[in-house]
Amino acid sequence: MPRAAFFDLDKTLVPGSSLFLLARGLYERDFYRARDIARLAWGQLVFQAVGRESRAGMEKSRNAALEFVRGRGAEELRSLGREIAEERVLPRVYPDIARIITQHQEAGDETWLLTAAPQELAELVASGLGMTGARGTIAQIDDAGLYTGELVGEIAHGAAKAKIAEEIGGRRNIEMVDSAAYSDSINDLPLLESVGHPHAVNPDHQLRRIARSRGWPIHELRTRRRALLIGVPSAVGAATMFGAGVGLGVWAARRRGRR
């Protein structure tokens, strides 16, 4: 039976938040204003600070992301997203994890990107890495081709991500016990436990402890210089992220002022 390798995106394939990279790229193309970016950054901050424990935190993050695209044309965002993925996201993929993806492909394994990031961004990153496919969070599009601000299904996060992997496995006749999964977050423990070969990549404190106790491989790909700390799931990381969000707002205002 075929095997698969499932990969998380943020802090597993790339440092930081892919959604924030997308947002900054859209801002630099005058697609959004500084306050839109600040609102998105705040939603991400709330999720990272309390989202793991609080349903309300997840809802705030989700609503910020959906409001970010409400009323925007899906095709235009896809086109810009392709440029930004090639410019900002794909160059930041850790070389070591890219080699692991290649090794799985050479062994005949399917490779899937599973992320809470938007489906469109997930597909672009997966395509750029030659992966089999991707599943992200799907935003609803109306008959006019505009985002409605609603979701189709649930956020691809936590237990939902494990469910997606199992659905892919069932549909494609994949042997899950022989398959692998890679993630940085304790949130993805259900996904890691759904395969026979779980891997912790840049793990947070809780996942590192579990990986050590269970003898799972741990891949530490981060360098000492952390240029993108958006998305670090800890009190320190949350504070750093807030500073980064504020800093981006200041940067945006200064950029506007120079025009």
Q: What is the CATH number of the domain that holds 75?
A: 3.40.50.1000
Answer yes or no: 10 catalytic: yes
Candidate list 8, 184, 188, 204, residue with the active-site label: 8
Choose the catalytic residue: 10, 184, 188, 204. Answer: 10
Q: Mean pLDDT, to the nearest integer, of 193-202?
A: 97
Mean pLDDT of 63-76: 75
Higher pLDDT, 26 or 45: 26
Residue numbers of the domain that contains 93: 4-257
CA atoms within 13 A on the CB side of 13: 29
The yes-or-no verdict on residue 140 having pLDDT over 60 is yes
- How many structural domains are present in the chain? 1
| In the chain, % of residues over pLDDT 70 | 71
Please give the C-alpha separations between residue 197 and each of 22, 80, 105, 175, 248, in angstroms, as whole numbers: 31, 36, 16, 11, 39
Pick from 159, 83, 68: nearest CA to 114? 159
Where does the pLDDT of residue 25 fall: very low under 50, low under 70, confident under 90, or very high at 90 and above?
Answer: confident
β pairing state of 180-183 and 4-7? parallel
Give the distance, in angstroms, between the CA of residue 169 and the centroid of all CA atoms in the same chain: 21
Per the CB < 8 A criterion, the answer to whether 17 and 8 are in contact is: no
Whether residue 226 has pLDDT greater than 60 = no
- C-alpha distances (whole Å) from 186 to each of 13, 182, 211, 232, 250 are 16, 11, 10, 12, 33
